[in-house]
Amino acid sequence: MSFSKNFLWGGATAANQVEGGWQEGGKGVSVSDVICLSSHGSPRVISLDLSEQCYYPSHKASESYYRFREDIALFAEIGFKMYRFSIAWTRIFPNGDEEEPNEEGLKYYDELFKELKKYNIAPLVTIQHNELPLNLAKKFNGWASREMIDCYLKLCNVLFKRYKDYVTYWIPFNEINDLGFPVGLYLHGGIIPDGLRYCSNGREVDSPQLRYQALHHVMVAAAKAVELGKKINPNFQFGHMTCHITQYPLTCNPDDILLTQQQDLVRNCFCSDVQFYGEYPYYIKRYFADNNINVEITEDDRRILKDNPHDFYSFSYYMSICVSSNPDAAQTSGNVMGGASNPYLDVSEWEWQIDPKGLRYTLNKVYDRYHVPVMITENGLGARDELIDGKVHDPYRIDYMRKHIEQMREAINDGVELIGYTPWGCIDLVAASTGQMSKRYGFIYVDADDYGAGTYKRYRKDSFYWYQKAIASNGEDLK
């Protein structure tokens, strides 16, 4: 067995990290537009009124807003069958609370969809990827308020009706479990508590109570989106999307084993359990009680969650961590959270542990739990690249990808129903954790530095040709 002949090979981006053009076509300001550039290890400062003297990476990003035709032509040249991207909410409803959508914003996406269709590339649309209108964050304290559900459904209604003939696969929320981590409070939840200044892991303020109430509203909104979408087009497929932080016990000490199990359930399984089984799982009650969290859930919420499960499971996978009950265990960094370091694994320059076999382990774990089709909607290596004479030699990225694809094949042989793979940042874009352009994931190099200086010309990296061959051979030729 190997990859099915309809396997969805592709790549992924998000509007706030790739588009730029932050004030074009009537676009409003999103929560991402007011976050400054930082570097590895320093938190990103949030400047709600843009007063801080800093560089705001989302304003230019990769300038795909101006170059999307060229970018899509390059994706087609690689051989993409699927392109995952997000729709910037603030292009459609600039402040989030207008009655009517912004036609100019919709026209931009009309063109993007047409361009994809021209090359037979299936869109995988993320409806919300850190792009909440800043106005809604200020007005309602973001998803902490139930009012957000209607604002979000108004957006869904417009998108589902307008693009019903273009799209089959939707992801209502990127990394829905991000609200389970402090980093999700502002970026995902649009929650602005007093004193908010930082949005990455070192942030100063947190409110688990607000985060989990917000997460509840998000999950109800996602279920309502499924309900609405299936009425508009019964063929729509909705994907749960989790930031899967794969965790291993550092030792066989039962304390490590128990801690790993508890963290895995709360961090990785909670949202998908709700979205596939339609109710809050037993273990979350104790977590809420231990952390003084009291989530308000109505009878109607319970019905909506029960009646509208998602269709497929998708996740981002970059790295794994270890869990240790020993506070002195050596630590490593990671996506949304770090953990104890694993002596068997190498790390990237940003200290994310590289663990291809962890991908096979994770695929088996999630398929065993839900038995629904699975997509890997983010994966990749953030690394520095050098452009020399128009070329970028990136053997480290090829090595990372090869080893992960080999493990995907193993998982398929294990029996996992893996249907798609959209590696992250298929074209270089600005990083979410730091805003750096120099943390590159792409097969396509974008000539710009961290401060937005450069020609923004696109160049094919060595990995571009490698991935092209991998797709052409349906995952067989990974040399």
Which residues of this protein are in contact with ligand BG6, per CB under 6 A?
14, 17, 174-175, 243, 316, 335, 378, 382, 424, 431-433, 439
Least distance from ligand BG6 to the Cβ atom of residue 233, Å: 26
**Beta strand 169-171 pairing with 82-86:** unpaired
- CB neighbour list of residue 23: distance below 8 Å, 6 or more residues apart: none
Residue 108 exposed, middle or buried by CB count within 10 Å (0-12, 13-18, 19+):
buried
Instruction: Work out how close the CB of 352 gets to ligand BG6 at its nearest, in angstroms, rounded to a whole number.
Output: 8
Residue nearer to ligand BG6 on the CB measure, 106 or 243: 243
Chain centroid offset of residue 340 CA: 23
Nearest position to ligand BG6, beta carbon: 433
- We find the least distance from the C-beta atom of residue 316 to ligand BG6, in angstroms, to be 5
We find the least distance from the C-beta atom of residue 130 to ligand BG6, in angstroms, to be: 6
Q: Which of the residues 19, 115, 131, 378 is marked catalytic? A: 378
Nearest by Cα to 20 from 73, 71, 77: 71
Could you tell me the smallest distance in angstroms from the CB atom of residue 136 to ligand BG6?
20
Minimum Å gap between C-beta 400 and ligand BG6 is 13
Alpha-carbon dihedral sign for residues 65, 68, 71, 72 = positive
CA distance 241 to 172: 8
Nearer to ligand BG6, 17 or 275 (CB): 17
Please spell the DSSP secondary structure of 148-183, one letter per residue.
Answer: HHHHHHHHHHHHHHHTTTT-SEEESSTTGGGGGSTT
Stated length of the chain:
479
* Shorter beta-carbon distance to ligand BG6: residue 288 or 396: 396
Nearer to ligand BG6, 145 or 335 (CB): 335
CA separation for the pair 232, 260 (Å, rounded): 42
User: Please, which residue, 83 or 140, has the CB nearer to ligand BG6?
Assistant: 83
* Residue 98 a catalytic site member: no
Residue of 24, 175, 227, 279 marked catalytic: 175
Phi, psi of 276 (to 5 degrees): -105, -35
Which stretch of DSSP H or E encloses residue 288? helix 283-290
In the bound state with ligand BG6, the residue whose beta carbon lies nearer, of 19 and 175, is 175
Residues whose CB falls within 8 Å of the CB of residue 113, separated by 6 or more in sequence, listed in order = 123, 163, 166, 167
Give yes or no: 175 in active site.
yes
Quickly list DSSP for 350-387: T-PEE-HHHHHHHHHHHHHHH-S-EEEEE----B----
For residue 8, the minimal CB distance to ligand BG6 (Å) is 18
6, 418 contact by CB (below 8 A): no
Rg (CA), the chain: 21
User: What phi-psi label fits residue 460: left (phi over 0), alpha (psi between -120 and 50 degrees) or beta?
Assistant: beta
Q: Residue 260 or residue 433: which is nearer to ligand BG6 going by CB?
A: 433
Which residues are annotated as catalytic?
175, 378
